[in-house]
Chains A and B, each alone.
Chain A
């Protein structure tokens, strides 16, 4: 087996794919962006530099056979936190290049369901956080939200709120120090340090108490169903949702 290490993200990935094909090692290649990946005894390995031109050639083929959807899906797949994502995407891409047609609905192919699941999970989490994200009003009237999603979804999530809230907001993924900031006109996506002392507006506690009261009052105590609750709203998300805070 030959292990190809590359820079995380779609361009790095395409560069590595190019390299594997170039060396005719596509059939025993393993692609990963994790530097922590342990090669087995006897494995060869190579660190592939990102090369825009070569990546663009791979991308062109992906688009030719799978359309822009396949390219988009690969981009989305790289937002996943799955350790195997690069290899799953690589196997999918290989099959795509072999079949020379859109394979996204060839569900019985070995390579298709694992890849679709990877992409779906990212979108599912993004969908969930359109509901589970919680903004707080800061002293200067900004809406500020912290969260810690499994996947890198901040860039995908921000447009949802731009469409519905005509107020400046900041979304902060504390796990990745990734920010989406909207000032009412432009969206900025960047990495930065997590702010430590965000001051809340004077109404914040009052509104939040009403929300927590509502959350309690609307529960039907006589029909407890914690398993269903846990299934729909995983416990790891609750840290940033005030309705689950202890009183």
Chain B
């Protein structure tokens, strides 16, 4: 079994990968196996930073041949190094899983020696885990750019989800900050896996049931929110990704002229996630959400900001508006829209009914009528104030993220 010291090094180096989700797969257990996957995902604990622990997030090795300037594991950085063997990792997963500590494994690695060597070791580990240890829980495997496509494809047959990190929102920034990686080396395997998933689905064989995700660092390079969201939109459309994750850049190299001295605001990350939600579930396009100067408003959430720019579309009547319109009302989410759609089949809804149905009206009341009656603010200036206030009461929490003098010691992204 792995020792505590190496476990610490290998998990501390992995923690900056944002994704911890264990959702999207319905893998069943086998007669002599252990584990299955729960489609909605399961959180097993929550750390003091408020993040969920679902998977054992770990690197095979943090001995990296690359020197990506934003990364804590870069070759030139003086940090303790370690690696683990496939068997050590498999044993640890089984022991943790048995005790219900985790849903499965999130396995990644620094590029040790070469991309092929690294990918081979990752592949060996997941095959071992599935075949020898008969593990049927969730596996998220990080893909290594520039590794042999055959290795990558083989891994897809064993794991639930794979991800190649876009790292930075433009090719130019990638060249500048991660010269050993190229856009092509990241996007090519992504495209290959997208095609494979479609093909295998038709053949009804199991291949990446939980699809692909990616991650990019925000604020290390000069791209606008608009560029980031259009890229995100493109990734969803072209590669059918399940999620795009963002991580705020935090400086680790003050001497590096290519990187900003100040970290990105976590509020920006938060707004991007809200916008990402609008793209995936609410039928918005990147073009609609972003302001003319290419950025998202800081003061309001993106849906609210969009609504303020389009007051001509409001108010909408809750008893008749189609669901696509309802979900565009600030404060009305997918669940509230569903409740309204169902409830109005049986009875006309008034304002009191909406309250009873636990529709949050703090923002929504300014954009709807209920049975013809309007309960919002008609004066545009006062309306904006009311919405600002709503935002402030929500955000008191998120802003406390920003107490980050100490953040300097770390970097909010990590390995490949």
Contact = CB atoms under 8 A, between A and B. Distances in A.
A and B: interacting chains: yes
Interface of A: 103, 105-110, 113, 127, 130-137, 143, 145, 161, 163-167, 203, 206-211, 213-215, 217-229, 232-233, 241, 243
A164 B99 contact: no
Most buried by B among A130, A145, A217: A217
B255 interface: no
A220 B53 CA distance: 12
Contacts of B378: none
A164 B12 contact: no
B37 to A, nearest CB: 9
Contact of A227 (B43, B44, B50, B52): B50
B357 A219 contact: no
Interface residues of B, number: 67
Contact of B38 (A107, A130, A209, A225): A130
A164 B36 contact: yes
A133 B103 CA distance: 12
Given A131-B43, A213-B7, A107 B342 contact: yes
Contacts of B250: 222
Contacts, number: 168
A56 B4 CA distance: 59
Nearest to A161: B100
B7 A113 contact: no
Contacts of A132: 44-45
A233 B43 CA distance: 10
Given A108-B356, A145-B100, A229-B46, A218 B53 contact: yes
Most buried by A among B45, B56, B345, B397: B45
A165 B92 CA distance: 16
Contacts of A206: 1
A114 to B, nearest CB: 9
A232 B99 contact: no
A127 B103 CA distance: 13
B44 A106 contact: no
A209 B4 contact: yes
Given A215-B53, A218-B57, A229-B48, A164 B95 contact: no
Contacts of A226: 48, 50
A130 B39 CA distance: 13
B100 A218 contact: no
Contacts of A108: 343, 346-347, 349, 353, 356-357
B47 A218 contact: yes
B404 A207 contact: no
Nearest to B45: A243
B199 interface: no
A233 B342 CA distance: 32
Interface in B79-102: 92, 95-96, 98-101
Contacts of B103: 131
Most buried by B among A210, A221, A229: A210
Contacts of B360: none
B49 A224 contact: yes
Contacts of A241: 45
A220 B49 contact: yes
Interface stretch (B228-236, B283-291, B406-414): B406-414
A109 B290 CA distance: 39
3 A-B pairs closest in CB distance: A228-B50, A225-B50, A219-B47
Given A213-B7, A226-B48, A227-B397, 10 more contacts: A108-B356, A131-B45, A164-B136, A210-B2, A213-B8, A215-B53, A222-B406, A225-B397, A225-B400, A228-B397
A215 B7 CA distance: 11
Interface stretch (B26-34, B107-115, B299-307, B324-332): B26-34
Contacts of A213: 4, 7-8
B35 interface: yes
B361 to A, nearest CB: 14
Contacts of A223: 49-50, 266, 401, 404, 407
Contact of A107 (B34, B343, B403): B343
A224 B51 CA distance: 10
B384 interface: no
A210 B339 CA distance: 45
A217 B11 contact: yes
B49 A214 contact: no
Contact of B346 (A106, A165, A208): A106
